[in-house]
Each structure stands twice: as C-alpha cells, then as structure tokens.
Structure 1
Amino acid sequence: MFELLLLSVGVGVALFVGFNIGGATTGPAFGPAVGADAISKTGAAGLMAVFFLIGGWTIGRQVVDTLGNELVTDPGVFTIHSSIVVLFFIGGALFIGNYYGVPASTSMTAVGAIAGLGVATDALNWVVMGEIAVWWIVAPIVGFWVSGMVGRYFYTRINEWVAITSTPGPLVEIDRTGVVPRPVTGPNTTRRELVGAIVVVSIGCLMAFSSGTSNIANAIAPLVGAGVDIDLMILLGCGAVAVGAFTIARRTLDTLGNDITELPLTAAIVVAVISSAIVIGLSAIGIPASFVIIATTSIIGLGWGRATRTTTLPDVVRGEKETNVSIGALTAETPGEEAPAIGEEEPEDIPSAGDLFDPATTGRVIVMQNVVPLLSTVGAYVTFSVLFRFVW
C-alpha cells in the first residue's frame, strides 16, 4: 500500500514537471508565430500538444533511455524515492521560471537535477556531462551571432525576397455560415502573407516535435528508470505538457513573441529557421538540446542585429558605405544619407534599440535562464548528499 502511494506521488510530480515543460517550451516554438499574429495562443497550444506527443512517442523513448542510463554510471540510483526528489526539483525550478514569464531550459534543469544526484552518489558520468555542457555553451552563441549577422546584413534582402507585409485583421477566420464551420482567409490577407504564416507555423510544429523528442525524457526518465511502464508515462507526460501549453505558456508566449523584440512575420521565419536548424543538428549527434536557450538567444540576436544595422553586406563589399558596428552606435545612420528601417524601407521608420531590442526584458530572461537550472542542480545535490544520507 505504501509503495502504491509512493508511486502515485512520483507520477504526480512527473505530471507537474510535464505541466511546466509545456509552459516553458511552447513560447520558443510558437512565440515568433504568435508575435507575428500568424496564430493565436490557443492554436499554438493545440499544435504544441499534438506535435510534442508525436515526438515523444517516436524518438523520445530513445532519449528517455539515454538520460536514464548514460548520464549516470549506475542506473540503480534511480529509485522511486530518488526519482520523486529529482522530479520535484525539476518541476519546482521550471515553475519559478514560468511564474516570472521566462521560459527556462527544461534540458538544463533536468540534467542539472540528475547531475546533482550523480555527484552526490558518485555516479555521474563526467565525460558525457562535459560533452553536453560544451555544446550548451557553443550552441546559444552560434544562434545569437548567426541571427545577429542575418539581422544586420541580410534581413532587408530576405524581406524583399519574402515580401511579407502584415495586414490589418486576422489571417484566418472561421466561417460558420454553413453546416460545418470551416477556416477561411481574412478579408485583408494576401497570398504571400498567408504562405509566410504557414511557413512560420510549420516550423513551430517542427520545433514542437523536436521538443517532444528530447523534453519528454525530462519529465519521465527517472520513473521509467525505476521500472514504471514507458508507454503509460509518455501518454501521461504529454497530457500534462498539453495542459501547460494551454495555461501557463501564455506568459512565455508574451515574453518571446512581444516583449524581447518586435517580430514582423519575416523576422519570425528567420528566428524559427535558425533555432530549429541548431536544435535538429544537436539532436542528430545525440546532445539533449537546450531548446529554450537557443531560441531565445536567436530572437535576441536578431533584435540586436536589426537595431545596430547601418548598411548591408553587399554595400560593405563594394565599399560604397561605411558601417559602425560598435554597441554604442545602436541608432547610427549611414554617412550622407538616412538609413532605411529594416524590412520597411521608409526613412521615417528607422528602428532604434528601444524599439527592436528591450535590454530590461533581455536581462531578466538571461538571469532567470541561468538561475532556474542552478536551483535544480544545487537543490538535488544538497538533498541527496546531506538529508538522504540520514534517511538511507
């Protein structure tokens, strides 16, 4: 009876983790699309739930095995007792980030908690941990600088190719005049705008799938390692993710879609392509991707690149214009003429740093995304190295 009660507590904590994963990962996947008015928050939550389940049910079960076996040298450290504690710190730390509207990295938070257990029990595989940590440092830097360079030198040309201009009103409406309601394009929606919206939403679905392949393990791997059926836990965990996507994720959708940087539809597509490419690349080599960090730094990098732009790369190559890349010249103009605004090409719409890149919000995001994984790591280590030694 006691074991059944303990298992119920463990499953409850795992569902709490899944709930917070839904809140933390929906923003990076669909924040650009929501910020560009390509999809509603409710629509984003629905797509997140579906594609997260597909990713978790297929590739995700392999990641569950990896996280429960390779990161620690002795999988026996995962008992029902220890799993509850690990999941408690994962869910608690993620909840703090979600409460403040900052989507923390579920991979970093989960790996941190398991690493705390591994260090306290002398069972951590330092080689695997070191490899993961290196990629967690490199990948966000790559995302920031690639997005920054695109925003600074290529965004105008890309926008000309895509030629997506947001029009007033919704992209899609529901026609209820017939027997069966059906979606129709909005009254002002252009074909290019609709195609662009489909592209950015599709990329969001791809990112949701990628999130499911890696993040479902963060909620259920400890319990599966302790002997709980993996199929049941995947279904329960994905259900909890769906609840989080429809509720607490609204905060992170606002943060990544609106507060950090303004994202016209073209910019949303650029951010989604860069961040999803990096996440897929990391997954291909077996690294649990820091999905949230990569997407967030890509958004920040694009906003910074757009705010600091004074010319385009072809102009630099031809030597026709000068450029100032210093941080202090965020709104510098090209000598001899007024620099056009990115994407709009109207002199009166020159973007400033305050318009495109919010330092206050960015600082809050960066601080919380480092604090949340630290809380789970330190909390798990202290608990297993001090308190549990007296219990066990």
Structure 2
Amino acid sequence: MAASALFVLGVAVAIFVGVNIGGSSTGVAFGPATGSDVLSMRLASALMAVFVLLGGITIGRNVVETLGAGFVPPEYFTPGASIGVLLFIGVGILLGNVLKVSTSTSQAAVAAVVGMGAALGVLNWRTVGIVVLWWLLSTILAFWLCAFVGRYLYDAVVDALDLESRDTRLAELAVIAIGCYMAFSAGASNVANAVAPLVGSGQIGMVSGVALGGLAIGAGAFALGPRTMETVGEDITDLSLEASLIAETVAASILTGLSWAGIPASLAVVLTSCVIGLGWGRASRRVPLQAVVRPEGLTDGERSTWGSDQLDLFDPATTKRIVATWIATPTVAGVIAFVAFDVAQRLRLIA
C-alpha cells in the first residue's frame, strides 16, 4: 500500500515538474511568434504540446537514459529518492516561472541529480564532466556561429530570403515552422527532466514515462506558457524576422544534436547565446574587427556605432536578469538536493 502511494506521489511530482518545464520552454520556442502576432498564445501552446511529445518520443529517450542512469546508478532512484529529486527540479524551475523567465530546465535537473549523487557518494564524475563540457562547447558554438553570420553573412541571408517583398503568409509560416522545430528540440531534451528518475528506477516504462512527461509539458504550455512567451516575445529582443529565424534554427539544431547524443542541455541558454552572438556580430559589422580587440578599445565614434546597433537587438537589463536566473536555478536545485540527501543519509532515512 505504501509503495503504491509513493508511486502515485512520484507520478504527481513528475507532472508538477513537467508543467513547470512546459511553462518555461514555451516562451523560448514560441515567444518570437506570439510577440510578432503571428500566433495567438493559445495556438502556440497547442503546437508546443504536439511537437514536444513528438521530440520526446523520437529522440528524448536518449536523454532519459543519461539522466536516469548516467549520473547515478539507477538502483539509488528509490521511490522516495525519485520524488525528492523531482521536487528539487520543480522548485528550481518554478523559481524561473515566478520571475517570468525561461530557465535552464535541463541544468536544474542535472544539478538535482548531481546533488543527490554527491551526497550519497555514488556520483559518476566522468558523466558530469562530459555533460558540463558539452554545455560550455554548445554555448560557445552557438555564440560564434551566430556572431559569424551576423558579421559576415547576415545581409546576404536577408537578401536571399527577401521575406519583406514576398507573400506575408510565407514569412508567417516560416516563423511557425521554426517555433515547431524548437518545440521538437525542447521535447527531445526536456521530457527527461520530468520522468528520468522514475524511468531509471524502473517504476515506469520508457514509453509510458516519455508520454507522461510530454503530456505534462503540454499542459504547462497552456497553464504557464503565456507568461514566458510575453517575456521572450516582448522584453528580450526586437529581432527582425530574418534574425529570429537564424538564431532559432541554429539553437534548435544544436540542441537536437546534443539530445541525439544523450546530452541534457538547455534550449534557453543556447538560444540566448545565439541571440547575443548574432547581436554582437551585427553590432561589429560596421566596426573594424581589429578595433574590437585592440588594447585601447573602441574610439568614441566606433563605440557609438556599436552601441546603437547592439541596443536594437536585445535589452541588456533583461538579459542580465535571465543570466542571473540561469545561475540561480541549477544552484538552488543542486544545493537543496545535496543538503536534503546528506541529512537523510546521516539520519539513516536512506541506505
């Protein structure tokens, strides 16, 4: 009876985590589309629900395996431990939703599992190193790819797309398609965050777990998504349509590739790295590259040109708030998980 009650509670907590993930990820995927009035928030939420589930079923299982067994041996994910880890993940993500910011959900999940493994002394540090290395590499890659495009190829891309002189409907369909691609990549990466402990311990099957996580994220898209879509679509950036397509395509492609390799990663972090990189590249396109790195820095004229270009792309104040939340979310999840499992072990509440 007690085991059944713990199982039901574990499923309920997984749903809670999935709902919060849905609220966070929907803003990243469809914020530009709703901010430009291409989609209503309700329709964007519906598309998010569909493509998240598709991404979870097709690729997300690779990430579930890593998060459910790669960091900590699966036998340590007892029903009670699974519930604890999922709660800590949910608390970290909820922090971002309360602040109306799309948080790094995968980083919160990894931090919670790492906190548990470190407290119990069973953490696979090799997996931690590989995942953290890919976090750094993907962020750097996203920034420099978009910086290169922004500085050298942006005008050519705009001319090739020529969206302004073409049928407006074509441009709208392009925005929607990219949003769906991003939702797919979010599902591939984030479904694991809601159900990996339950799947890793064998309390629920892989297919059932992925379906549960996908449906919960879809519910979160409707319940909480409008808050983060408002932030991403209106507060962070005033990107042109072409710039949005570039940043989102690069971000979704990087995240899908990482998910295929079983690496849990954050769409929010990768996408904003793309936006900042594209902004940096565009801001530097009218400033000589050697001026950017010379010891004495930019002249007054170059600084004025750089500043006027850069401020058209993203709001520095909002970006700082988002970066601070990215740091706080995994830190809160990891520290709480470590302290809780360390205390539980000392009190002999767990083996």
* TM-score using structure 2 length: 0.89
| Distance of aligned partners of 1:28 and 1:55 in 2 relative to their CA distance in 1, 3 Å threshold | same
Contact 1:58–1:213 (Cα < 8 Å) also in 2: yes
In the other structure, the counterpart of 2:105 is: 106
| Range 270-279 or range 63-72, more displaced | 63-72
Residue from 347, 362, 365 that aligns with 2:322:
365
Contact 2:189–2:256 (Cα < 8 Å) also in 1: no
The alignment status of 1:242 with 2:218, answered yes or no, reads: yes
Q: How far did residue 139 of structure 1 move?
A: 1.0
Contact 2:56–2:191 (Cα < 8 Å) also in 1: yes
CA–CA distance in 2 between the matches of 1:329 and 1:13?
55
Cα shift readout 1:127-151 (whole Å, capped 9, x = no counterpart): 1110100111121122122222322
The alignment status of 1:325 with 2:325, answered yes or no, reads: no
In the other structure, the counterpart of 2:208 is: 232
In the other structure, the counterpart of 1:120 is: 119
Amino acid at match of 2:342: S
How many percent of aligned residue pairs carry the same amino acid? Answer: 44
Is the partner of 2:292 in helix, strand or coil? coil
In the other structure, the counterpart of 1:153 is: 152
Q: How far did residue 328 of structure 1 move?
A: 5.8
Give 5+ residue unaligned stretches, structure 1: 166-189, 317-321, 342-349
Cα shift readout 1:83-141 (whole Å, capped 9, x = no counterpart): 01000000010000111111111111111111111111111111111010011112112
In the other structure, the counterpart of 1:387 is: 344
Amino acid at match of 2:96: G
CA–CA distance in 1 between the matches of 2:262 and 2:2?
38
The alignment status of 1:265 with 2:241, answered yes or no, reads: yes
The alignment status of 1:216 with 2:191, answered yes or no, reads: yes
Is the partner of 1:104 in helix, strand or coil? coil
Q: How far did residue 292 of structure 1 move?
A: 1.7
Amino acid at match of 1:325: V
In the other structure, the counterpart of 1:294 is: 270
| Distance of aligned partners of 1:303 and 1:39 in 2 relative to their CA distance in 1, 3 Å threshold | farther
Contact 2:62–2:262 (Cα < 8 Å) also in 1: no
| Range 224-233 or range 256-265, more displaced | 224-233
Cα shift readout 1:31-57 (whole Å, capped 9, x = no counterpart): 233334332322221111001111222
Contact 2:192–2:213 (Cα < 8 Å) also in 1: no
CA–CA distance in 2 between the matches of 1:111 and 1:281?
18
In the other structure, the counterpart of 1:255 is: 231
**Max radius of gyration: which structure?**
1
Contact 1:260–1:300 (Cα < 8 Å) also in 2: no
In the other structure, the counterpart of 1:50 is: 50
Cα shift readout 1:284-320 (whole Å, capped 9, x = no counterpart): 4332222221012112222333344416xxxx7xxxx
Report the aligned-residue RMSD. Answer: 2.5
In the other structure, the counterpart of 1:91 is: 90
Contact 1:143–1:278 (Cα < 8 Å) also in 2: yes
CA–CA distance in 1 between the matches of 2:300 and 2:50?
41
Q: Which is richer in helix?
A: 2
Is the partner of 1:164 in helix, strand or coil? coil
Residue from 323, 330, 333 that aligns with 1:376:
333
Is the partner of 1:246 in helix, strand or coil? helix
The count of corresponding residues between Structure 1 and Structure 2 is: 345
In the other structure, the counterpart of 1:5 is: 5
Give 5+ residue unaligned stretches, structure 2: none
Contact 1:162–1:192 (Cα < 8 Å) also in 2: no
